[in-house]
C-alpha cells in the first residue's frame, strides 16, 4: 500500500478532525510528499497542521476552506497545487455533516445547505482539481459517502439524499474519466467515532476508530476499488439494499428504528 502513496501530493477536506485527520496522518506515515489539510475550523486547522508539520517538516500545509463556496474550494486547490510543486495526485472530498431532522421540520434553506456541504463541496473539488490532474497525466479522487446511501434511515432524509447523490456522481464520473487515467472511488467509511456524533450523544459502541477507517480507505483506494467498503456491515447493507428476498426484514428493521427515534429512545 505504501508504494501507492509515497511521493504523492494529497489534499483532504475536513482534514483537521476525525477521518480526515486520520487520513492525513496515515498518508504522511506512508511517505506522501505533501499533505494539505483543508478545513473550516480555523482553530483546529492551525493546531493540527502545526502539530503534523513539527512531525513531518515541510510536508504539511493547512488551508482554511469553506466547501460550500466554490471560490473557496478553487482557491484552496490552487494553493495546494503550488505547495505540491504544481501537482495534486490525490483529492479526498471528505468534509460532510450528518444532518438529522424530521422531514416536516426541514426548510428549503436546510436542504440547500445539506447539498452545499455534502454534495456540492465534492463537486467543486472535482471541478477545481481536474485541470491539475489532466496536466500531470492522472490522479485519484475519493468522495466520502455513507452506508446510509444504501440504507436510508428515518429522520435523516437530507443526509440520505445527499450521500446517495454523491454515490451516483462518483460512479458516473469513474467511467467518464477512466481513459484520462483519473480514478474515482466512492468511500463508505463505516460507522466511525468522529465529531459528527457529538450532537446525538456520541458514537455507538460498535463504531470503529478514525484510524481504522482511514486504513481501510487507503487500502481500498490503492486497489482502485469502485466503492470502498471499510466494514462488512456496510458491504452487506449495500448488497441487500434492493434485494426483494430480504425486503420484508429490511422494512421491519427500518420501521423499528424509525419508531425508536420518534419515541426519543434514539436521539434526533
Q: How far apart are the first and last CA of the chain?
A: 39
Q: What's the distance, CA 216 to chain centroid?
A: 13
**Phi and psi at residue 208, to the nearest 5°:** -85, 170
Q: CA 262 to CA 141: how far, in whole Å?
A: 38
Active site residue: 4, 56, 159, 253, which one?
159
CB 213 within 8 A of CB 192: yes
CB 217 within 8 A of CB 190: no
CB 19 within 8 A of CB 41: no
Annotated active-site residue 159? The verdict is yes
> To 10 degrees, what angle do helices 18-29 and 210-222 make?
60
Residue numbers annotated as active site? 159
Amino acid at each position: 500500500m505504501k508504494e501507492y502513496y509515497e511521493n504523492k501530493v494529497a489534499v483532504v477536506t475536513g482534514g483537521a478532525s476525525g477521518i480526515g485527520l486520520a487520513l492525513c496522518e496515515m498518508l504522511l506515515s506512508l511517505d506522501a510528499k505533501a499533505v494539505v489539510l483543508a478545513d473550516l475550523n480555523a482553530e483546529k486547522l492551525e493546531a493540527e497542521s502545526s502539530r503534523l508539520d513539527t512531525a513531518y517538516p515541510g510536508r504539511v500545509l493547512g488551508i482554511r476552506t469553506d466547501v460550500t463556496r466554490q471560490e473557496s474550494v478553487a482557491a484552496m486547490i490552487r494553493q495546494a497545487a503550488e505547495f505540491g510543486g504544481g501537482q495534486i495526485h490525490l483529492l479526498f472530498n471528505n468534509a460532510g455533516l450528518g444532518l438529522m431532522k424530521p422531514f416536516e421540520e426541514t426548510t428549503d434553506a436546510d436542504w440547500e445547505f445539506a447539498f452545499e456541504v455534502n454534495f456540492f463541496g465534492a463537486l467543486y473539488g472535482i471541478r477545481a482539481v481536474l485541470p491539475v490532474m489532466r496536466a500531470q497525466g492522472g490522479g485519484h479522487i475519493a468522495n466520502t459517502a455513507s452506508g446510509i446511501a444504501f440504507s436510508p434511515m428515518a429522520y435523516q432524509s437530507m443526509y440520505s439524499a445527499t450521500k446517495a447523490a454523491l454515490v451516483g456522481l462518483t460512479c458516473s464520473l469513474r467511467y467518464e474519466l477512466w481513459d484520462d487515467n483519473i480514478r474515482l472511488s466512492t468511500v463508505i467509511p463505516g460507522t466511525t467515532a468522529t465529531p459528527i456524533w457529538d450532537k446525538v450523544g456520541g458514537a455507538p459502541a460498535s463504531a470503529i476508530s478514525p484510524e481504522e477507517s482511514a486504513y481501510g480507505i487507503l487500502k481500498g483506494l490503492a486497489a482502485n476499488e469502485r466503492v470502498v467498503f471499510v466494514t462488512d456491515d456496510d458491504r452487506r447493507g449495500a448488497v441487500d439494499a434492493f434485494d426483494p428476498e430480504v425486503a420484508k426484514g429490511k422494512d421491519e428493521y427500518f420501521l423499528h428504528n424509525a419508531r425508536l427515534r420518534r419515541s426519543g429512545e434514539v436521539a434526533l
